[in-house]
Amino acid sequence: MLAFTVIPHFDLNTIPYAASPIMKSESMNFGIVLFKHGRILVKVALPKSGYVPGETICTNIEINNTSSKEVERVEMFLMEVSNFEGKCSEVRRTQFGHLDHVAKAHKRRVVTKATQKISMLANKTSQCTMRLPIPPIVPSFNICRIIHVDYKLEIKVLVTDVNSSLCLDIPVLIGTYPVQTSLLLAPMPINIPPVPEYLTPPQPTALPANITNEELDEDELLKLIVDRLEEVLQLDSDEEDFQEGEE
């Protein structure tokens, strides 16, 4: 069976919202009914939504700590979220000979991360800027129903002496051609729309080399990725067996 790697070329300049700033806020109350510690509000702002490997994500974080606890540190992660779906055939001793079923795999991995200690006292408001360089990674991928690759920027605010932490995530696009500087000079809008769970990636500007429209049939492509899908499922199974062995 032929194996190949699909890495589309995405020009972020073809996506209007790739150059747009993005903001999101989240709040959390700490403690329980008789032992309330107060509330923390976090606001996160990015100058744009689209990036390419080699760029740095600059994040402005504002923390309003109205709780009685101290904010210890802020952690930031670039998460890759991959979804695979494929039709697999299983040979079973039935009157039908074999049965087909759809196998799905969902993978989340940390691409890169950064940590910043802030030691923010109770009942204070503070701002910080965190920078996260983007390593070589595949771009956002959503050209067919069987392979999806999305990215999220996750912010975690950790508080001393509290088991839970405030978490906030913002979707970002990863492309192969960066946003032009001139597009970033536009003033930030006053009313920024709500942040979706994921941003729709751009469509590829050209088919991969040596693949024609006739060859890029979905059923044929599905067959080509079955091996990869089964490999991912096997990795998940091996990880679970390894964890059980450690316990």
Q: Is residue 4 part of a domain?
A: no
Give the predicted TM-score (pTM) of the model.
Answer: 0.68
Residues facing residue 11 across a β-bridge: 177
Q: Is residue 1 part of a domain?
A: no
pLDDT the model gives residue 69 = 86
Q: Is residue 152 part of a domain?
A: yes
Task: Tell me the C-alpha distance between 160 and 143, whole Å.
Answer: 44
Instruction: Say which CATH number the domain at 222 has.
Output: 2.60.40.640
Task: Tell me the C-alpha distance between 52 and 184, whole Å.
Answer: 15
Q: Is residue 148 part of a domain?
A: yes
Q: Is residue 40 part of a domain?
A: yes
Q: Which residues are within 8 A (CB) of 140 and not within 5 positions of it... i.e. 6 or more apart?
A: 10, 149, 150, 151, 173, 174, 175, 199, 201, 202
Give how far Cα 174 sits from Cα of 17, 38, 178, Å. 13, 37, 9
Number of helices (H), then strands (E), in the chain: 1, 10
Q: Is residue 122 part of a domain?
A: yes
Q: Is residue 135 part of a domain?
A: yes
Positions in the chain whose pLDDT score sits under 50: 91, 93-95, 189-192, 202-216, 218, 223-224, 242
Q: Is residue 81 part of a domain?
A: yes
Q: pLDDT (tens digit, 9 = 90+) per residue, 117-151?
A: 988 888 889 999 999 999 999 888 876 677 788 99
pLDDT the model gives residue 205 = 43
Q: Which residues span the domain enclosing 103?
A: 12-246
pLDDT the model gives residue 199 = 57
Tell me how many domains the chain contains. 1
Using an 8 Å Cβ cutoff, are 177 and 139 in contact? no
pLDDT the model gives residue 211 = 42
